Amino acid sequence: MTAIAIPLLLQDSRFLPNLLSCAKQALGGVLVSIARIAQSMRSRMPWPVGRRILLENEVSRGRGWDQTLGKLIHNAGRLETKIEPLVDALREHILCGEKISTFYEVAPDAMEASRNALLSATIPTSPFSEAYPYLLSEDELLNAPAGIFLAAVETNEDGVAAVFSSVRVVTVREPILPTDVPEAAAEIFDDYEEIVGLKTIRLHACDTVWLPHDGKHIDVRIDYPVGTLHEVAVAAQARVADAFHEIVGVRLLATPVNLFPLIDRIYKDPKEGTVVELGFGTTTSSLKHEKMRRKMLDLREEQYHKGGKAALQTPIEPFRLSIVWKRLAGNGVISNPEMSINSSARSAGAQLPCIETVVIRKCMGQADYEFVRSRIEHHLAAKPETKGEG
C-alpha cells in the first residue's frame, strides 16, 4: 500500500484499526511513530484538546480527528522533529487528561515511603507495558489479558505517578441526530426532543495514582471519557487502589477527602474562574439547574441569576458546579481546563453532605491539571464560613 493511499483510507473511520499495519507496510520508523501517536491521541483526547496540542506544537491539522489523522500520515516525512514533543504530550494526557479524581490525605513519612516503593517497583511484562506510552488498537484490545497491570512509573519535578492499564468495557450514551435516522423511521421519533443511543466499546484505560513531591494529598485519577457511567469509574477506582496497595505494602487509600465544601467555597469566590453550570436549592424548596457554556459568561454575574438570588430571604444552597479557567499555553494557545463537582439535592440536604470525586476535563497537560489541583487544595484549606454568611 502506498503512502498516498493511507490518508485516503483514514477519511473513513472504519479503516482506523488498520492504521499501524498499513504504516508498517508502507514506510518505516517515522511513519510508524506518527501513526501510533496519532492513533493513541485520537483514542483518548477529545478533538478540541487534541487540536490545541497540535496547534501548540505547530503541527498541521484537519477538521476533526479523521481528517487530521490522514494529514499526519501524509506529512509524516516532515514531522520527525515533532515526535518527541507529541509523545511527551501523550504521556501528560495519560497522567492528567479526562479524569475523575479522588483525594486522600497522607502523612509525610508514608508519602515518602510510597514514592520510594513505586520508584523501585518492577514493571511486569504485559501488552500494556510493552506498548506504553502508546495505546493498544481495538484489535489488540480484543486479545489483551483481563485484569489490571502496572504499565509504567512516571516521575517528574512535581511528583511520581503509577500508571495502571486495563481493558475497560463501557457502555456510553451518544446523542443521535435526526439526520442519522432513516427516513422510514423518522416519524417514530417526531415527538422526541432528544434521541440517545447506547454503545458498548472497549477502552485502553490508563488510570493513575499520583504522589506529589510537595503536599499531603495522593490522588487517584480514573480515565473518564464523556458518557462513562459513574459507577464504572467507582469500581475502577477500587481496583486501582487495591493494585497500588499491593505495591506499597500499606493501605493508604482508605478514607477519601470530602470535596462537597468546595462547591460553596468556589461559588462564593468571584475571582475563581468562570462558573458555567450550577445546580442549587432555595428556601422556597425549588431546585434550579443553570448552564451557560456557549458564551463562557459567569453564571455568578448573569442578571437572571443575580435577580433571583436577590429576591430570596436566605442564601442559595449549591450542590452541583462546573467551573472553567482560561490559561495561556505555548505558542499563544488558550487552554480551558474544567472542573465539575456533581452532587445531588438529596445529598446536599444530609446532615453531613459528602462527595468523594471531582471530574477534571479539557486539560492539555500536566500544567493545566496541576493548576486545577492547586485550586482544589487552596479551597480545601480555606476556613469554612459561619452559618448565614454569603
Q: Which three cell numbers stand for residue 278?
A: 450550577
For residue 292, pLDDT over 90 is answered with: no
pLDDT of residue 335: 96
Angle at 284 between CA 278 and CA 288, to 5 degrees: 20
Residue 70 contacts residue 6 (beta carbons within 8 Å): yes
Size (the chain), residues: 390
Residues 111, 211: contact at Cβ < 8 Å? yes
CA angle at 208 for the pair 207 and 212, rounded to the nearest 5°: 165
The H or E element that residue 34 is part of is helix 29-44
The model's pLDDT over 300-358, given as tens digits with 9 standing for 90+, comes to 887 656 656 655 656 778 899 999 999 999 889 999 999 999 988 888 878 899 999 99
Name beta bridge partners: 220. 102, 209
More confident residue, 184 or 5: 184
> Is 66 exposed, middle or buried, given 0-12, 13-18 or 19+ CB atoms closer than 10 A?
middle
Residues 6 or more apart whose Cβ sits within 8 Å of residue 112? none
Partners of residue 287 on adjacent β-strands: 281
DSSP notation for 68-106: HHHHHHHTGGG-GGGHHHHHHHHHHHHHHSSEEEEEEE-
Q: What percent of the chain has pLDDT over 90?
A: 61
Q: Residue 8 has what pLDDT? A: 44
What band does 295 get if pLDDT is binned at 50, 70 and 90? low
For the chain, the average pLDDT equals 87
Helices 29-44 and 83-96: crossing angle, nearest 10°? 20
pLDDT higher than 60, residue 20: no
Stretch 352-379: mean pLDDT: 97
Which residues 6+ apart lie within 8 Å of 83 measured at CB?
Answer: 30, 33, 34, 37
All three cell numbers of 58, joined, read 505547530
Cα dist. 175→178, 205, 262, 281 in Å? Answer: 10, 23, 31, 29
Identify the CA nearest to 335 among candidates 367, 297, 374, 376: 367
Confidence of residue 16 (pLDDT cuts 50, 70, 90): low
pLDDT in tens, 132-191: 999 999 899 999 999 999 999 999 999 999 999 999 988 777 788 777 777 777 777 777
pLDDT of 283 higher than 80? no
Q: Which three cell numbers stand for residue 109?
A: 513519612
Q: Give the type of residue at 161.
A: A
Tens of pLDDT, residue by residue over 44-57, are 999 999 999 999 99
pLDDT of 136 reads 96
